[in-house]
Chain A
Amino acid sequence: MAENILHEVTQADYKYGFTTDIETDIIPIGLNEDVVRVISAKKNEPEWMLEYRLKAYRHWTTMKMPEWAHLKIPEINYQSISYYAAPRTNGPKNLDEVDPELLKTFNKLGIPLEEQMALSGIAVDAVMDSVSVKTTFKETLAEKGIIFCSFSEAVEHHPDLIQKYMASVVPITDNFFAALNSAVFSDGSFVYIPKGVRCPMELSTYFRINAINTGQFERTLIVADEDSYVSYLEGCTAPTRDENQLHAAIVEIIVHKNAEVKYSTVQNWYPGDKQGKGGVYNFVTKRGICKGDNSKLSWTQVETGSAITWKYPSCILQGDNSSAEFYSVAVTNHYQQADTGTKMIHLGKNTRSHILSKGISAGFSNNSYRGLVRVSPKADNARNYSQCDSLLLGDKCGAHTFPYMEVNNETAIIEHEATTSKISEDQIFYCNQRGISTEDAVGLIVNGYAKEVLNKLPMEFAVEAQKLLQITLEGSVG
């Protein structure tokens, strides 16, 4: 069977008239070993990196797309996708050429003009303020011995760290999309915080500019050495119009003894139009490990974009007394689908995990929480508290909760609470009567509902995320 697929794939080379011209910016569609080699060659990667990619690719060809999620995923033809594209150069020249709808949203979010330009894909040169900010950042970080660079740079300059940690949390065999990413990932970020260092700033503003055009197969690796701390923010509140249909990213986080990592993400990929046409498929594998004793990892996510989201930021609690948190707001409107949640794997003693998931469904959308809490036989005194709330706007949408528990140690204490509520017409009218428009009322109520999670976000992002929730739900009531 596997050989058949392999054979077919190899045949495809000829069909598409494949060439290995590494000077061009976009390679022909389709995926096979040669494509993997080209990607690696374009990035001037060392042999071990190529081997890793090929191993992943070969494994991927034996795998099938997972079907267990509560999602209707149209068939994806993996041979019709181009797996490497350099940043766009034929984008708009100035803001006049940008979709006015997009600009309207930028303004509602209060995004500075320069960033608007960068986000719309306008080539922004070194005049931009944030570039100098970036340089200042780099100096401050370097003084502390913090490494924060693109994944490609890390492969080149810190091969020891990459080889040590890459795939140590998400192996290439982990799942279909992780294998695909491992084979063809374009770029991403690498963070290393040395022993005893507290990262003095949110690694955020920097990333917001930098994250654009890293491509559809991103890879992030964060390593926090003993007694260190970092707060990392990925993504962007602004709507990123992207022609890429398929996004399959990997995020791996390693937290050593007494270290703490906070990872926050705001995902706002193009969700498709109101009829459900188009939009990004976001199939992401995010996992961290609390490797050392007393280590701590927290995931905070605000998911408003993508046509389909398949994402379970998880944590392996290996060190004794380690703890993990998962805070999530997932919003779906129109025909969006989301199947998202977390996995908490308790291995060490006295490990604690806390799950707080807030789903909001509107329009014809479907929103599922899927979570696993596993307590291994050796994880004495493990403790988990899960709370999963769903808020429905309208009566054509769906909210689902799939909690799984595997408890193999009788000292564990596991609690699960779930609620479902609706925004009522009476609540809306009450707000209206106080002079608040229906859309603002929905925003107010939704933000009130999601507040516990939004409060976990870094300050400046929380404000934007609030506005984002409201914009996402515009026109969903009344």
Chain B
Amino acid sequence: MLQIKNLHASINGKEILKGLNLTVRPGEIHAIMGPNGAGKSTLASVLTGNPAFEVTHGTVSFNGKDLLELAPEQRANEGIFLSFQYPVEIPGVSMVNFMRTAINEQRKYRQQETISATDFLRLMREKKELVEMDNKLTNRSVNEGFSGGEKKRNEIFQMAMLDPSLSILDETDSGLDIDALRIVANGVNKLKRADNATIVITHYQRLLDYIVPDFVHVLYDGRIVKTGDKNLALELEEKGYDWIKQEVEGK
């Protein structure tokens, strides 16, 4: 599904990713962990085409397409979804209108007809239940006046609506209390299928109790330096990152 080869990327001339390799196959959950400043969020930004970042080297192929050639909205419509670490507020634009626009753009891209009002409302209702989202929230403007937890839940709601093949959760657990964390994780698990995949970017092992990864990668200094199964996350939780640093620098 996703193949990243020797990816280098920088922001304002500063290189953050320094030769990253990663392969994600359908049905897999990958966790990416690592110390602050390792490049975790940069990876999410680069994959989704954030114009603030410049790719200087390497290739990314997504379902056989050259991802780096595509505009951000094309990548989204190809099936890449990012749950933002800091979801943006858009005053005046209702969630309903925003979602309907997004769904219809996706359908247009895939040469499908626009969604009917009844189908759309049914979809909204269904997905709202999935993430236990309050009706009040979908009647408000996009993220405006939402609490931190509500914003994150709203991200998962949008993910459910758009049904992506690759979801990237960028620190979705940060700022969540334990109940919200459980709801968000449940949502992600319910959306899990054999034909989609998830990349979970997180600082803490905590989220991985709920969303169980097939692979855990350690991102350090712009590269994936260690890969293991879910036990690696536990080990990191226990020992921190210092031993990884020593291992990498000792090489």
Contact = CB atoms under 8 A, between A and B. Distances in A.
A434 interface: yes
B88 A436 contact: no
B90 A427 contact: yes
A440 B97 CA distance: 12
A425 B88 CA distance: 10
Contacts of B102: 434-436
Given A434-B102, A436-B105, A444 B76 contact: no
A429 B93 contact: no
Contacts of B48: 433
B72 A432 contact: yes
Nearest to B83: A433
B81 to A, nearest CB: 8
B114 to A, nearest CB: 13
Contact of A432 (B52, B73, B91): B73
Given A425-B51, A435-B162, A448-B141, A430 B101 contact: no
B20 interface: no
Nearest to B164: A435
B105 A437 contact: yes
A451 B92 CA distance: 7
Contact of B105 (A427, A440, A445, A450): A440
B158 A434 contact: yes
Nearest to A451: B92
A427 B88 contact: yes
Interface in B76-97: 76-77, 81-82, 84, 87-94, 97
B49 A430 contact: no
Interface in B132-160: 141, 158
Contact of A430 (B84, B94, B106): B84
Interface in A318-364: none
B92 to A, nearest CB: 3
Contacts of B109: 435
B72 A445 contact: no
B106 A435 contact: yes
A426 interface: yes
Contacts of A445: 90, 92-93
A448 B72 CA distance: 22
A449 interface: yes
Contacts of B87: 430
Interface residues on B, range: 20 to 34
A426 B88 contact: yes
Given A435-B106, A448-B92, A429 B51 contact: yes
Contacts of B106: 435
Interface in A252-310: none
A288 to B, nearest CB: 29
B101 A444 contact: yes
Nearest to A443: B101
Interface in B98-125: 98, 101-102, 105-106, 109
Interface in A403-460: 421, 424-427, 429-438, 440, 444-445, 447-451
B90 A448 contact: yes
B178 interface: no
Chain A binding surface, main DSSP class: helix
Interface residues on A, range: 20 to 34
A432 B49 contact: yes
A449 B101 contact: no
Contact of A444 (B81, B84, B98): B98
B50 interface: yes
B90 A432 contact: no
A31 B87 CA distance: 61
Contacts of B158: 434
Interface string A82-111: 000000000000000000000000000000
A433 B72 CA distance: 6
Among A421, A424, A425, A431, residue most surrounded by chain B Cβ atoms (within 10 Å) = A431
B17 to A, nearest CB: 18
Contact of B92 (A432, A440, A449): A449
Contacts of B73: 431-433, 435-438
Contacts of A436: 73, 101-102, 105
A279 to B, nearest CB: 29
B95 to A, nearest CB: 11
Given A426-B88, A429-B51, A430-B84, A435 B94 contact: no
B162 A433 contact: no
Nearest to A426: B88
A426 B93 CA distance: 15
A424 B52 CA distance: 13
A444 B109 CA distance: 18
Interface in A232-266: none
A135 to B, nearest CB: 36
A277 B106 CA distance: 38
B248 interface: no
Given A440-B105, A444-B101, A447-B92, 20 more contacts: A421-B91, A424-B88, A430-B84, A430-B87, A432-B71, A434-B102, A434-B158, A435-B102, A435-B105, A436-B73, A436-B102, A438-B73, A440-B101, A444-B90, A444-B93, A444-B98, A448-B93, A448-B97, A448-B141, A450-B92
22 contacts: A421-B91, A426-B88, A430-B84, A431-B73, A432-B49, A432-B76, A433-B76, A434-B102, A434-B105, A434-B162, A435-B105, A435-B162, A436-B105, A437-B73, A437-B105, A444-B97, A444-B98, A445-B93, A447-B93, A448-B93, A448-B141, A449-B91
Closest 5 CB pairs between A and B?
A448-B92, A448-B93, A432-B72, A435-B76, A434-B102
